[in-house]
Amino acid sequence: AARDARAATRASTADATARRPPKPLAPYRPTITVVVPTLNEAGNVRRAVESARACVSTSGRAPEVIVVDGGSEDDTVAEARAAGAAVLSAPRGRASQCNAGARAAKGDILLFLHADSTL
């Protein structure tokens, strides 16, 4: 009899729990890092960085922008810094540069953007 009473109590508790609405989840506000690999993109990089920085992420903040330069011989690095990007150097090659940017990124979400593109 005691076993039946305990089973009935567990069943009624389970029913009551099942009827409760779920607790709302805390809002997820990911941060974003935009990685821009470059090589001799002085004429394009400022526009790409500024367009990325103008985007407001769901966290309410502008994304982190990292330009990863592969040894430019023009003013790419100066233009990127002037536009507000963090600048890294990496061995030439898109994969190497993207990987270096990904390692340095602090954001929850990574976006890779060509220097001649805008958001």
Q: What is the CATH number of the domain that holds 106?
A: 3.40.50.1100
Host domain of residue 60: 32-112
Quick check: is 65 in a domain?
yes
Whole-number pLDDT of residue 22: 82
Whole-number pLDDT of residue 18: 66
2-61 pLDDT, tens digit each? 676 666 666 665 565 567 888 888 887 889 999 999 999 999 999 999 999 988 766 678
Quick check: is 20 in a domain?
no
Whole-number pLDDT of residue 10: 64
Whole-number pLDDT of residue 78: 99
Whole-number pLDDT of residue 61: 81
Quick check: is 26 in a domain?
no
Quick check: is 43 in a domain?
yes
The total of structural domains in the chain comes to 1
Least confident of 4-8, 80-84, 114-118: 4-8
Measured CA to CA, the distance from residue 76 to residue 42 in angstroms comes to 4
Q: Using only C-alpha atoms, what is the Rg of the chain?
A: 25
Q: SS3 of 109, please?
A: strand
Residue in this structure with the two tokens 């974003």, named with its chain if needed: 32
Contact between 47 and 118 (Cβ < 8 Å): yes
